[in-house]
Amino acid sequence: MACTNCSTGSKDGTPRGCKNNGTCGTDSCNKLTVFDWLSNMSLPGGQEPFDCVEVRFKNGRKEFFRNTEKLTLSIGDIVATEASPGHDVGIVTLTGELVKVQMKKKGVNPEGEVPKVYRKASQKDIDIWSEARDREEPMKVRAREIAIALKLEMKISDIEFQGDASKATFYYTANDRVDFRQLIKDFAKEFNIRIEMKQVGFRQEAARLGGIGSCGRELCCSTWLTDFRSVNTSAARYQQLSLNPQKLAGQCGKLKCCLNYELDTYLDALKGFPEMDTKLYTEKGDAVCQKLDIFKGLMWFAYTDNYAHWHMLKVEQVKEIIALNKEKKKVASLEEFAVEETASQEKNFQNVVGQDSLTRFDQPKKKKRPNKKRPGAAVEKADKPEKPQTEKAARNERGERRERPERSKQAEQTDSAAEPQKRNKKRHKPNRNRPSNDKNTPKE
């Protein structure tokens, strides 16, 4: 049964979400949904169907309940289930024989003691449940304020009300143990309800909140990943990744779960490689491994007395040298086995989508001088014959300099004597336009 809000499109035909953030009534947009591929098959020999059902609550929490009342239940029904104390309200997510398979997968005995389903939820049960769900968000804000006032090293991540609104479960995250005895007293006094504290991990909190990862896609933990395995820094070392915590950590602050996805493939590929701490003994000196390329099957070695100069060898050549060293034989040098590195050819990418070039800003464009003349001036200028080159321009091209005629010594002495007089005359030159401030100047 598909969620009507998810499958129904808008007026313009585009799909729309149910806006319930994974809590839609039919559980269609929840990542933990199990497809019942046995729903259209009848049981052989009049065998009775399995009497347990799977019920989902808030935050993807699922539990198994026994249908002792022989109710006709199907996926999407809202039921009232047994709880301590009172009852809880949830949504049926799976019925039939697949429930037995899920119980074995979760480690629950199908024949053991299991809580039971009371009834299908009435309208009164649904109203109380909806009102309790509406109180969760403002209560979470107030709970965080109380925790901050008590200076506790913890974070209230979410609150879940029981279906009959008699109990509230506070989910929190913390690095160390927290003494929240006073916090529970303040919560009970503030909210007047039964309080239960439950700690969750940082990965579970990130899965509940969701987000976009560094790969540009939605977080795996909030879309399809259900089991969280431990991730170590050795996974990054095996894959030749830089141990940068800013790049290796996800939104939860822990190492990314995707580091384990290709780890097995890398481990299989590394089985054909010698160890990184392998030493090669040559007559020129001992060599140690500096780097390896898993995909190309190459290893780089350097002499202990010259770490700056690396020699590239194939894995087969390294194994050959190791076999000779085991026989207490030394090769002449690594240069005999070194593979020449081919110069990387420049790749020219074609613009197939009509976008601008990525290197269009590398070289600045030359600024063109604006032509203030009319548009046809350039054409007329081309038609005009060139003017004959003047004597001065021709002399400048040849690099020659016009010789000035020598002056007589008498003329030079006359000029030097006249220069002070010219300066004084220029300095005391009166300004006829400006009125004089001299009192002795007679008035006209």
314 with 282, same domain: the answer is yes
**Within a domain: residue 262?**
yes
Of the two residues 227 and 388, the one the predictor is more confident about is 227
The pLDDT score that the predictor gives to residue 243 is 87
pLDDT bucket at 257, cuts 50 / 70 / 90: very high
**Within a domain: residue 2?**
no
Distance CA 124, CA 131 (A): 11
279 with 262, same domain: the answer is no
Q: Averaged over 157-166, what is the pLDDT?
A: 91
Q: Averaged over 320-341, what is the pLDDT?
A: 85
**Within a domain: residue 70?**
yes
426, pLDDT greater than 70 = no
**Within a domain: residue 295?**
yes
The total number of structural domains in the chain stands at 4
**Within a domain: residue 225?**
yes
Of the two residues 311 and 399, the one the predictor is more confident about is 311
The pLDDT score that the predictor gives to residue 180 is 86
Of 116-125, 145-154, 385-394, the one with minimum mean pLDDT is 385-394
Residues 238 and 266 sit within 8 Å (Cβ to Cβ): yes
> Which of 336, 362, 383 corresponds to the end of one domain?
336
pLDDT bucket at 122, cuts 50 / 70 / 90: very high
Q: Which CATH number fits the domain that encloses residue 186?
A: 3.30.300
150 with 174, same domain: the answer is yes
**Within a domain: residue 231?**
yes
What six digits make up the tokens of 369? 């001088």
396, pLDDT greater than 70 = no
Q: Averaged over 343-354, what is the pLDDT?
A: 56
211 with 161, same domain: the answer is no
Q: What whole-number percentage of the chain has pLDDT above 90?
A: 32
1, pLDDT greater than 50 = no
Taking only the tens place, the pLDDT of each residue in 272-310 is: 899 888 899 999 889 999 888 888 889 999 999 888 889
**Within a domain: residue 153?**
yes
Of 23-32, 81-90, 268-277, 293-302, the one with minimum mean pLDDT is 23-32
Sequence-ordered list of residues with C-beta below 8 angstroms from that of 77, at least 6 positions apart, any chain: 91, 92, 120
> What's the whole-number average pLDDT of the chain?
78
114 with 161, same domain: the answer is no
182 with 212, same domain: the answer is no
Residues 56 and 90 sit within 8 Å (Cβ to Cβ): yes
262 with 283, same domain: the answer is no
The pLDDT score that the predictor gives to residue 226 is 77
> Which of 269, 288, 313 corresponds to the end of one domain?
269
102 with 71, same domain: the answer is yes
Distance CA 424, CA 248 (A): 83
pLDDT bucket at 414, cuts 50 / 70 / 90: low
291 with 261, same domain: the answer is no
Domain with 328, as residue range(s), is 272-336
320 with 250, same domain: the answer is no
> Which of 336, 357, 375 corresponds to the end of one domain?
336
Q: What residue type is assigned to position 164 of the chain?
A: D
Taking only the tens place, the pLDDT of each residue in 209-237 is: 888 888 888 888 888 887 788 899 999 98
87 with 158, same domain: the answer is no
183 with 144, same domain: the answer is yes
**Within a domain: residue 170?**
yes
